[in-house]
Amino acid sequence: MDKSVSYKQEGKIGIISLNNSTKSNPLNLTTLNEIIAAFNLSAKNGDTCVIYRAEGKHFTFGADLKYVNDLVSSDNKLDESDEYSWAWQKITTAMLEHPGIIIVGYHGWVVGGGFEHTLGSDIRLAADNTKIMLPELDLGVFFSNGSTKLLPAIIGEGRAKQLMIMGEEINAQKAYDFGLVNEICKSDELDDLLMAYAKKIASKDQQALIVAKKLINKARSSSLDTVLDDEGKAMMAASRSESTKHRILSFLKSH
């Protein structure tokens, strides 16, 4: 059986794709585990940047509701149901701990956990046909992937509560206005835009990128004193780096 998730490398860039496009990329336990494995392999390979995208008309409708209904309706599948719940959370850990910069490309519908599991990414781009919706409270289920912390950190508590409580769809323009996505493009230009971002990121100093991502993520829960200390140590380490010396010299020569 073909996998629902693929991974490949193009130089320093990893590309992870959801491939079950005929069914709008539903996310069951097998698929979630494939996503985790792909990000872990990408991290092991040292990808400087990762593009996370999807084939087909939609990025993903999120949780495979037929699969979820089977889990919650079967007393003998409680262990699998618990494993499914925790697999969502493991994706966020895999993204946050990945040393590279992760860029997500949304298009079509991005629903529920299909959206929430991308919140551990670093940059989010959207085709102009993107529609995002969080219907969990209408279904009586709950949010995943640290979204109750990450989403308010990205767009503010008021707007996060609006999306989560109301469960109404928002289009690409509103997502951009909220600060949820960094840039919008035409749907047939999304892959090119993702690659343009990735190539620019891959051209930067890899060690500096790793430290920057780590400290920005850590700063969410750190005091200002801790942030100042971390930045100071990072600056001192950079000043001793041969790569930094070379890049500064190259910059001076070109300007």
Q: What is the pLDDT of residues 74-132, one digit of tens each?
A: 888 888 888 889 999 999 999 999 999 999 999 999 999 999 999 999 999 999 999 99
pLDDT of residue 164: 95
Contacts of residue 32, defined as CB under 8 A and 6 or more positions apart, other chains included, come to: 84, 87, 88, 90, 91, 117
Spans of the chain, pLDDT less than 50? none
Cα distance between residue 2 and residue 170, in whole Å = 33
Element (H, E) at 134: none
The CATH number of domain 5-202, selected from 3.90.226.10, 1.10.8.350, 1.10.150.120, 1.10.1740.10:
3.90.226.10
pLDDT at 130: 98
What pLDDT score does 150 carry? 94
d(CA 212, CA 103): 15
Would you state the pLDDT for residue 79? 87
pTM: 0.90
DSSP bridge partners of 10: 13
Cβ pair 89, 146 in contact under 8 A: yes
Q: In the numeric block, which tokens belong to residue 56?
A: 């087909």
pLDDT (0 to 100) of residue 31: 95
Task: State residue 27's pLDDT score.
Answer: 94
pLDDT, residue 155, reads: 95
pLDDT at position 255, please?
73
pLDDT at 247: 76
Closest CA to 138 of 161, 164, 117, 118: 164
DSSP state of 179: T
Tell me what pLDDT residue 242 has: 79
The residue whose two tokens read 């850590």 is 218
The domain limits of the chain are: 5-202, 206-254
